[in-house]
Every structure is written in C-alpha cells, then in structure tokens.
Amino acid sequence: MAALKAEGVEHIFGIPGGANLPTYDALYDADLTHIQARHEQGAGHMAEGYAKASGRVGVAMATSGPGATNLVTAITDASMDSVPTVFITGQVRTDLIGTDGFQEADISGITLPIVKHSMMVADPRHLPDYIHAAFHIASTGRPGPVLVDVPQDLSRADIEYESASGPPDLPGYKPSTDGNIKQIRIAAKAIANAARPVIYSGGGVINANASEELRALARSDNFPLTSTLMGLGAFPAPDDQWLGMLGMHGTRAANYAMDEADLIIAVGARFDDRITGKLAEFAPRAKFIHIDVDPAEISKNVPVHIPIVGDAKKVLPKLTEEYIALGADSSRTAEWWDRIRAWQREYPLNYERNESGEIKPQAMVEAMYRATGGDAIITSDVGQHQMWAAQYYHFDRPRRWINSGGLGTMGFGLPAAIGAKVACPDETVVCLAGDGSLIMNCQELATAVRHEIPVKVFLMNNGYFGMVRQWQELFWEGRYSSVEMGPSPDWVKLAEAFGATGMRVEDTGEVEGAMRDALAAEGPVLLDVRVSPEENCYPMIPAGQAARDMVG
C-alpha cells in the first residue's frame, strides 16, 4: 500500500476474493479510495478511463483465477490503445502454484502477448520494487498495461516499506525520447520542400500531452491536419486547418488529401489498417516522416523515409523551430489548399435533417454537443454511435474523447465514464452508449450508484447491432443475421432497478431538452434515445479498399 501511495495512487478499481484478501485487508484502513466494481472487466475499463482522462496511471485489482481472467479484455484493450495501467492480481499460495489449486489460473502466461510487461512476485521484500517498476514501465515510453501477480502468502508478509531511492533497475528498458536532431533537420527541410503536405496525428500526441506543440507546428505554416480516431481533440475541431478525421469513416477531404499528398508528417499514429485500407494504394504519391516513441512502429506497415524516434512533446518543438528557421515560402501550398477547399465544399459531412419526429442518430450527437456546450468528457462504446460521435462532436481539447479504438471493445463506455469521472470529478462526463454495447457492462450502473459517481449515459438506441447490420446490408446482400435486439430490456426500468434515474425520448425536437434535464439531474442517469433504426454511417471506405473508393 505504501508503495502505491508513493506512486501517487489515489484510486483503485477492483473486486476482492480469496487470493487477494490480504491486500484488501490492507486497503481497509489505507488512505486510498477503492471503487468496488461489479465485474473485473468493468474495473479494468474504469482504470483505463481514469488514465485516459487524467494522464495518470490507472490501477485495477482482481483476485486469482476467474477474477484475473475477467480482466483479460481490459488488459488487451489497454495494450492496443497504449493506456498506462497497472493490474494487480492475486495468485494462489506459492506452494499451490502448478497444482491446479483452487482458483488458480496462470494469468501471467495468459496475458503474455497482451501486456507491456508482467511480473510474478517471488519475494515479498521486493514487492515495493515491483510496484515501482510496474508504474515506471506502464507510464513511460509507449505506455501500456503492466501486470503484477502476487501470490496470496506473499501479500500477507508484513514488510517495512522503504521509499525507492531512484528509478528501478531495468537494464533492458530504456525508451529513447529526445529524437535525433539530424533527422529532425532533414524532416524540416523535407517539409519546406513539400507542396502538398499533410499532418497525420494520432493518439500518441494525446499521450505525450503535446497538443500545444502539435498546434504550434501546424500554425507555423498553415499545414492541413487530420487525425485518427484516437487523436481527436489534440487539434481543435472545427478549425480552418482541420480536415476532420481520416480513415474508414473519416471525411473525404482528409482521405483524399492523404491520397494526393507529397509529404505526410505522421505524429504518434500507427498506420492502422482502418487508416491505410488497401496498403498498396495508400498515399501512393507521398513520402513519410514518422515521429513515434516506439521504434517498432516505424516502417511496421508503411515504409518510412524520415523516421524520428522520440516523444512528440520533445520532438515537435524542435521540428517547428527548425522549420521556421528555414523561412520557407508559404505560398507553395496555395494550390494544395484550393484543392482541399474544393473537396470540403463538395463533400461535407451531412445527413437528412428533420425538425420533428424520428431522431436521426447524427442529430442526437449534435444535440449532445449543444446540451454539453461542447464541454464534456465523452466516452463511447463501439459501433455506429462511436463513429457518429467522432464525426459530429467537435472535440477541441485533448483527453475529452475516450473510446476503444484498437480492440473495439463493446461495453467499454460506461465503466470508462465512471473511471473518467473519478479522475475528473469537476467535469461533466457523458457515456454515449450503444444498445448492443451497454448491456455488456451495464452492471456497472450499480457501481455508479453505490459510489455516487454521477455519470450520464446517453443511449443511442437503434434496436440493432447497428454497425454489423450496416455491413450485412451493404456487403452481405441485406441478409440480417443475429443483429436485431428485440424489445428487451426496458432501459428506463433497468436504470431504475439499479437505483439510477431512467429517462426516454422519442422525438427529435425533445432530445436536447431531455439531455439538459439529464445533465441537471442528480446522480447517474440513463437516457434512452430512440433513434432511426436503419441509418447508415457514411462516408466509409469498404474494408481493404483505398481512399478513392469511399462510398456514401
């Protein structure tokens, strides 16, 4: 406990059990807040939401066996989205390990491919060192989940805590963060010679807390900028230089700009296949600068011409400075901007609007933007609603958009919102949920009620696994297979059963008002918003196709 406190931990999310009884006993009178989740997966996503909202390490705990295996999805999610998290699991007593003891699961083995690092504590005297090393590894370089597995007998041992004297001794772990200055100079010169540059920024900029630095680079010469789903908010939307999100459900302006660019400046983005589509036709005219703290990301999917390994926070200011020093001619991008403006005029994001009656899902997101004044932390589940939020809620600050991108974990939104609200109690936190997703972790409504965490759940209820239905409609000849949700549950009653407030709205004219009421109400609220069931999310690049093949 003392080691956790020394790491600045104030909140832990988890569930007790036999193997971590000693730890929970220590929590009983520790000066730490423990949020008792209702499923370990929920605890894990809470830790993620906490980390994403605050930039601090999120901590979740579970007992051995089923407690630990319930964490696996959250650990994988944290790994895919590079979320700084520490997972502490109980393990059976040392003498039972390997005997198929009661509630024994080889959680270190199970999680080997999905952790940044893991450790099984072997000597109780070293437990504090393990904890410090875990926090160090989770939060530095490219962040990620670290698992600490503690056998029950070892967590019982009473040890004197001596505060760590320095950084942990990890001979094989030395992230490079500075960025090679020669490479940075070459990059600046390449930019100065580019007539059709685009900045492609990603979640790494948010993680680096480098939004200001990114803006400075973009402003240094009116560079067009697009971002991934995970990078939204690092650059303000809307803005003259903002092209919108790129990728599968990005804007045409962003995707066409990537397609025609002569130089792409990738910052903290990992060339995911939702961005590149068909690799052979991805940005065929472009050379690439890639700034990333993880050397293995460079040239992993797309060969890069000017790699810069380093922390965006340190590299971007140097790059901006070097670029400005070159005094490049700004007018070189004038034609490029004409072309981009033409795409923006021709293909704005749009949908058929209506004043009353059916609620269009896009209109729901726009209402949410107005009701929150654009000033809330929004978490999301996975599906169409997630994409519409990315398109229509204009994030203008980092750490305001919290979602599951890499793993695409349905059921992420509610627990992540709880974690975010715990991290940022003064902010409004809204979970934009999907009806398919919400039920996967709806038990955490009980957590919100029990701990008085006033998150607001705006449920985009289309009666379908909408994203899957859309694919079946478009690519599988409309053969709807297991995508309808049917009438169950009654969400208002479900909310009430948990002790939360339940509300429902069915007319588009009333959505914003209902949302304002939900925001004003005390405590956790679930607002069931009945939207058009068969609306499709456009535009889109069909999987495995190229930017030019965008439809809708």
Ligand X SMILES: Cc1cc2nc3c(=O)[nH]c(=O)nc-3n(C[C@H](O)[C@H](O)[C@H](O)COP(=O)(O)OP(=O)(O)OC[C@H]3O[C@@H](n4cnc5c(N)ncnc54)[C@H](O)[C@@H]3O)c2cc1C
Residues that bind ligand X (CB under 6 A): 81-82, 142, 202-204, 207-208, 228-231, 245-250, 268-270, 272, 274-275, 292-294, 297, 311-312, 382, 386-387, 405-406, 408, 467
Give 11 or 45: the residue with its C-beta nearer to ligand TPP: 45
| Options 69-77, 185-193, 270-278, 523-531: segment touching another protein (CB under 8 A) | 185-193
Q: Which one, of 167, 156, 103, lies nearest residue 127 by Cα?
A: 156
- Of the candidates 80, 402, 410, 418, which one interacts with ligand TPP according to CB under 6 A? 410
Instruction: Give SS3 for 194.
Output: coil
Instruction: Give SS3 for 224.
Output: coil
Cα distances (Å, whole numbers) of residue 413 to 106, 368, 410, 418, 527: 28, 16, 8, 9, 14
Q: Do 89 and 115 meet the contact criterion of CB atoms below 8 Å apart?
A: no
Q: Which one, of 285, 289, 221, 220, lies nearest residue 258 by Cα?
A: 285
Residues 433-492 that bind ligand TPP (CB under 6 A): 434-437, 460, 462, 464-468
Give 293 or 448: the residue with its C-beta nearer to ligand X: 293
Give 74 or 328: the residue with its C-beta nearer to ligand TPP: 74
Q: C-beta of 228: minimal distance to ligand X in Å?
A: 3
Give 68 or 541: the residue with its C-beta nearer to ligand X: 541
Q: C-beta of 533: minimal distance to another protein in Å?
A: 39
Q: What is 127-183 written as a DSSP string?
A: HHHHHHHHHHHHHSSS--EEEEEEEHHHHHS--------SS---TT-----B--HHH
Site track 191-230 with another protein (rule: CB under 8 A), x = hit: -xxx------------------------------------
Give 135 or 464: the residue with its C-beta nearer to Mg ion: 464
Task: Choose among Mg ion, ligand X, ligand TPP, none what residue 410 binds, the Cβ cut-off being 5 to 8 Å by kind.
Answer: ligand TPP
300 belongs to the binding site for another protein (CB under 8 A): yes
The sign of the dihedral angle between the CA atoms of 476, 361, 269, 346 is: positive
* Cα–Cα distance measured from residue 169 to residue 126, given in angstroms and rounded to the nearest whole number: 12
Nearest-5° angle of CA 415, CA 395, CA 370? 90
One-letter amino acid for residue 292 of the chain: D
Q: What is 65-82 written as a DSSP string?
A: THHHHHTHHHHHHHHHTT
| Options 289-297, 335-343, 390-398, 412-420: segment touching another protein (CB under 8 A) | 289-297
Site track 123-152 with another protein (rule: CB under 8 A), x = hit: --------------x---------------
| Options 203-211, 300-308, 372-380, 503-511: segment touching another protein (CB under 8 A) | 300-308
Cα distances (Å, whole numbers) of residue 171 to 78, 164, 167, 286: 24, 17, 11, 38
| Alpha carbons within 13 A on the beta-carbon side of 396 | 11
**Which parts of this chain interact with another protein (CB under 8 A)?**
108-109, 112-113, 116-117, 120, 137, 170-173, 181-182, 185-186, 189-190, 192-194, 262-263, 287-288, 294-296, 298-300, 303-307
